[in-house]
Amino acid sequence: MTNLPASGKPDSLTPFDTATLTASLTSISGSRVSDVACSPLVGDASDRKYFRVTYHTGAAGNPSSSMIVMQLQAPVPNGETDFIRILNYLKALELPAPELFHYNSERGLLFLEDCGHLTLEDWVREHPEDKTAYYRQAVELLARLHHRATKNIDADCPAYHLKFDVEKLMWELDFMLEHYVKGLCNSPLTAEELEKVRGHFLCLCETLAVQEPTFTHRDYHSRNLMATNGRLVLLDFQDARMGPCQYDLASLLKDSYVPLEDDFRNEMIEHFIRRKEKEESRSIDRREFFRIFEWMSIQRNLKAVGTFAYQSVVKKKHRYLEYIPQTLGYVNSTLNARPELAKIRQTLTQYIPGLVSNKTKGK
C-alpha cells in the first residue's frame, strides 16, 4: 500500500494531499481520523481513477476502515454527475450499488463504500465451485435491474434521454473500424470496402434498434460486479441507456474476461428468460430472444474490440490487447452458428483482421 508522502503533497500515484483526505474522512466519520493511507487501484477502460483509502477513527487500537475514492477526469462543479444520479436511482429501487458518502465537487472526488477486493471474475477463478451459483445470481440481479429500472424510469434519470438507436449502435461499430481495423491492425478499408461493411452493420443495427427498450447497465460484466459477503454489487453504471435487454446479457455471458462454455451460457440465458418472465408476468418467445441475443452479441463484442484497440493505440494502455482474440472468437462462433448471417460473415471475415485465424484482408 502506498502511504501519502510526509510532506502532504501528492505524488505520481496518489494525487491527493493529506489535508484533503483527512478533512473529508473526518467529516464523513464524525470523529478524529489518523493513519491515512492511499493506494491506487487498477481501473477500467475509462478516464476515471480509483484509490483505496484506509484510516483509523477514534481511539488508538480501533480497527481500520476503508473507502474507495473515485477521481473523475475533470471536476463537475455546481451539480451531480451522471454516476451520482444513476447511483441514487438504483438505490431508491433497492438495487445493490455502493454507498456514496461524500462528493468533493471541486476536486472531482467521490468517496464510496469499499465493496471488497474481489470482482465476480476474481471470485469464480478462486472458487470455481461457486461459478454456477454466482452466475445465476448475476442473471437474477440483471432481470431485477431491468424490470425495476425500466418500470420506474422518468425524465429525472439520465438513461431516460439516451437510447441504443441506429446512430449510436453504428457509431460504436465505426469506432471499432477506426481504432481496431485501421489503427491497431493498420488495415484501412477503401471507400468501397467501408460502404460494404457498413451496409451489413446497418442491417444488423436496424434490427437491434427496434427491440423493446429496456434500462441497460451498458457494461454488465464480471469486472463490474463486486462479490462481497455472498452478494453481488453493481459498479460502473454511469453510462446506462435504453436498449435491448440482450445487450447486458451478452456483456455478461460473452464476457471478454471470463470465457464460458456454450452449454453453461445457454443454461444461464434460459435462467434469465425464466426470471424475466416472472418479473414481467408474461411469456417470452425463446427462439426470437436467442436470435436477438446472438445478433446483439456481435455488435457488443465488436464494440469491445474497438475499445481495447483504442486503449492501446490512443491511450497507450496495452493490457487489454490479450482479450481481443477471445472477443473476436465470440463473433466468429456466432456468425458460423447463424445461417441467416452467412452474408455478413462472408464480408466481415474478409475485412476484419483476426476474425478468422490465418485469414486477413485481401485473402
Distance, in Å, from the CA atom of 194 to the CA atom of 188, rounded to the nearest integer, reads 9
pLDDT mean over 338-348? 95
Contacts 24+ apart (CB under 8 A), 331-336: 331/297, 331/298, 331/301, 331/302, 331/355, 332/356, 334/294, 334/297, 334/298, 335/298
Written as one letter, the residue type at 330 is: Y
pLDDT mean over 263-278? 98
Q: What is the pTM of this model?
A: 0.90
More confident residue, 253 or 4: 253
pLDDT mean over 21-32? 88
- Sorted by sequence, the CB contacts under 8 Å of residue 266 that are 6+ apart come out as none
- Could you tell me what percent of the chain has a pLDDT over 70? 91
Closest among 302, 266, 272, 296 to 284, alpha carbons compared: 272
Distance, in Å, from the CA atom of 153 to the CA atom of 248, rounded to the nearest integer, reads 17
Degrees, nearest 5: CA angle 15-17-20: 110
**pLDDT at residue 17, as a whole number:** 76
Return the minimum-mean-pLDDT range out of 75-79, 129-133, 289-293: 75-79
* Burial category of 159 from C-beta neighbours within 10 Å (exposed 0-12, middle 13-18, buried 19 and up): buried
Distance, in Å, from the CA atom of 188 to the CA atom of 335, rounded to the nearest integer, reads 22
User: Are residues 301 and 331 in contact, defined by beta-carbon separation less than 8 angstroms?
Assistant: yes
Closest among 259, 281, 270 to 329, alpha carbons compared: 259
User: Are residues 158 and 331 in contact, defined by beta-carbon separation less than 8 angstroms?
Assistant: no
- Sorted by sequence, the CB contacts under 8 Å of residue 351 that are 6+ apart come out as 181, 189, 193, 196, 197, 361
User: Are residues 228 and 116 in contact, defined by beta-carbon separation less than 8 angstroms?
Assistant: yes
pLDDT-derived band at 34, boundaries 50, 70, 90 = confident
Alpha helices, H only, the chain? 18-29, 82-92, 120-126, 131-151, 166-176, 191-209, 246-253, 262-280, 286-313, 324-337, 342-351
**pLDDT at residue 43, as a whole number:** 65
pLDDT-derived band at 233, boundaries 50, 70, 90 = very high
| Count of residues in the chain | 363
pLDDT-derived band at 61, boundaries 50, 70, 90 = low
Reply yes or no on whether the pLDDT at 153 is more than 80: yes
Reply yes or no on whether the pLDDT at 52 is more than 70: yes
Reply yes or no on whether the pLDDT at 6 is more than 50: no
pLDDT-derived band at 74, boundaries 50, 70, 90 = confident
More confident residue, 18 or 71: 71
pLDDT-derived band at 155, boundaries 50, 70, 90 = very high
pLDDT mean over 219-223? 97
Reply yes or no on whether the pLDDT at 360 is more than 50: no
User: Domains of the chain, with CATH numbers?
Assistant: 18-113 (3.30.200), 120-351 (3.90.1200.10)
pLDDT-derived band at 108, boundaries 50, 70, 90 = confident
User: Are residues 55 and 65 in contact, defined by beta-carbon separation less than 8 angstroms?
Assistant: yes
Reply yes or no on whether the pLDDT at 177 is more than 70: yes
**pLDDT at residue 3, as a whole number:** 35
